[in-house]
Structure 1
Amino acid sequence: MRELQVLDAAELAIAYAAADYAVALDGDALPLRVGRPAADLEAYWPAASYLFMTAWNPASEPHSDSANHAADERLVARLDAIAVQRHAAWAEDVAGQWREPGWLLADLDDAVANALAREFGQAGVLAWRRGEPVRLRMLIARPRHAGPAAHTDWIGA
């Protein structure tokens, strides 16, 4: 497991919460937004809980495409090993300058999800239960200077 050294976790959480997310289902791109329900997705793909994660750019540090693809291949192998259902998904900043492929997972135990995200060096994931708004789960300690943020959970190490 990696020890994350994030320069400003509060700013990172703000950026993650503001990002656009989507999942590819049956040729459609269904949007996901922190703080909003994902009713269209849940109607297409019923599950009790959902999690978006990526293996790209661990610790929010840019890595080469080849390193990111290799990390994604390792993540897919881990997901196959635990037989979790998944669909291709992605995250991108609102300006369209940055995009990371990832996976939307169904019904993965929270402890397993957190451990898997930490194994791949991720500072945050999206996680929510069916019928509830999408939440940002930060896997690093909440900095003292971080302001209140609805729909963001800081669970630390």
Structure 2
Amino acid sequence: MDEKLIEAYRTTDYRVRLPRGGWVSIRVDAAIPEELLPWTGKYAWAFITAWNPHSEVQARTQNRAAQQSLLSAIRELRQTVCVRPGMGVGEDWREPSLFVVGPDLFETDRFAQHFRQNAYVHGLGTSPARLRLTGGSTPHGQAG
């Protein structure tokens, strides 16, 4: 995977919508924001999207349909504890996303691969956010 693309993932502002309004940001390699701790507890969590597979721009209607499919699949899992709307914001782009608590890495990798995502951000409980690369043959831990 292109180093410039990995750097874009690493510097993205991963925003999670709070229930009473406003947003809180997750940053790769930083502690998860306090506002999210009541949800994460001891659980695995991820920030993932189905938009723009392989980081290639798709039509809005196609992206929305894929995102709805991802949301439905996540909600069907018994492990899912919480799903909040999110927004990945880069230097010159933004993608609707989901902050998901509960599914483990195996399930989240499966979603990322099914929806052809190159990477997603994840953590466990209060652990720092990590970038997980899913492009290629086997998903692997943190980039760079």
With the shorter chain as reference, the TM-score category is: 0.7 to 0.9
Alignment partner, residue 3 of structure 1: none
Tell me the residue number matched to 2:40.
46
Pick the aligned partner of 1:23 from 16, 22, 46. 16
Shift of 1:76: 1.5
1:77 aligns with 2:77: no
Q: Post-superposition, which runs of at least 4 consecutive aligned residues in structure 1 deviate over 4 A?
A: none
**In 1, Cα distance between the equivalents of 2:104 and 2:6?**
23
Q: Tell me if the contact between 2:117 and 2:135 (Cα under 8 Å) persists in the aligned partners.
A: no
Aligned to 1:88: 85
Aligned pairs (5 A) from 1:126-141? 126-141=121-136
Larger radius of gyration: 1
8 Å CA contact retained: 1:30, 1:40? no
How many angstroms apart in 1 are the aligned matches of 2:121 and 2:61? 25
The amino acid across from 2:5 in the alignment is: L
TM-score (norm 2): 0.86
Specify every segment of 5 or more residues in structure 2 that has no aligned partner in the other structure, as ranges. none
The match for 1:119 among 114, 123, 127 is 114
Deviation, 1:20, is 0.8
User: SS at 1:38's partner residue?
Assistant: coil
For residue 142 of structure 2, the aligned residue among 113, 128, 152 is 152
Aligned-pair distance for 1:141? 4.4
Q: Which residue of 1 aligns with 2:31?
A: 37
The answer as to 2:4 corresponding to 1:11 is yes
Could you tell me the TM-score, scaled by structure 1's length?
0.79
User: Taking every aligned residue pair, what percent have the same amino acid on both sides?
Assistant: 26
Equivalent residue letter for 2:62: A
Structure 1 unaligned blocks of 5 or more: 1-7, 143-150
- Equivalent pairs counted in the alignment come to 137
Amino acid in the other structure paired with 1:12: L
Q: 2:97 matched to 1:109? A: no
